[in-house]
Homo-oligomer: A and B are copies of this chain.
């Protein structure tokens, strides 16, 4: 058996998230079904992590074990010919037998896209949050990097979800804009459930002038979910990149 690592992209709009669920369309189900047609046996796909319903991926990483039936460089073409067009395998490589897409991930980067025009584009509605009110992007740009570092991020953790350890290290947290689009990019060693969407909800409160930029750090220190902003919609969120330790090579 070989161990294959793949980088995949998907438009999450029409899926109930990554993880298999009975009778609901999921990314995992379509990947496993495609592989089962290729390898003619029951297959399990492991991802770097789940993505929620409606969340997209620019660089999700998966791995699976299989016999060497298809040459590694042909795996993307074989899979793409069997996958729906909104799930795409970009690249496949053979990795060490013990490589695990989830357990070996050392960093993940997410991106959240906001369409800040008065009137939204019909072409981006599936891939962004439309905020018609002109946001104070300077305030958001100031606030974003304040959360870089190692913190207990309980305040940005979906209420009611079970926590064992809510300390995470954020390496990068920044807001970029071209005047129309606002893109928030965040890299961390891991994320709590809904963490990115609650950070963005908080940055939007700052962009709307309801909170000062510095308050974002007070919210982190409070560890109180009630103090943070709301959880923004899934359709603006993209899993951008997953990084592995040097021994596995960077993706």
Contacts and interface: CB of A to CB of B under 8 A. Distances in A.
Contacts of A77: 119
Contacts of A119: 76-77, 80, 88-90
Tell me if A's interface is mostly helix, strand, loop or mixed.
Answer: mixed
Contacts of A88: 119-122
Copies of this chain assembled into the complex: 2
Nearest to A76: B119
A33 to B, nearest CB: 17
Interface in A56-110: 56, 76-77, 80, 85-90
A11 B56 contact: no
Nearest to A89: B119
Contacts of A80: 119
Contacts of A123: 9, 11, 56, 127
A15 B148 CA distance: 45
A244 interface: no
Interface in A1-42: 9-11
A125 interface: yes
A138 to B, nearest CB: 27
B11 A85 contact: no
B11 A122 contact: yes
A87 B120 CA distance: 10
Most buried by B among A56, A77, A85, A87: A85
Contacts of A122: 9-11, 85-88
A234 to B, nearest CB: 15
A126 to B, nearest CB: 8
A86 B13 CA distance: 14
Interface in A146-162: none
Interface of A: 9-11, 56, 76-77, 80, 85-90, 119-123, 125, 127
7 contacts: A77-B119, A80-B119, A85-B120, A85-B122, A86-B122, A88-B119, A88-B122
Given A10-B122, A87-B122, A88-B119, 5 more contacts: A9-B121, A11-B122, A56-B123, A88-B120, A123-B127
In the A-B complex, the 10 residue pairs with the closest CB atoms: A11-B122, A86-B122, A85-B125, A88-B122, A9-B122, A10-B122, A90-B119, A11-B123, A88-B119, A76-B119
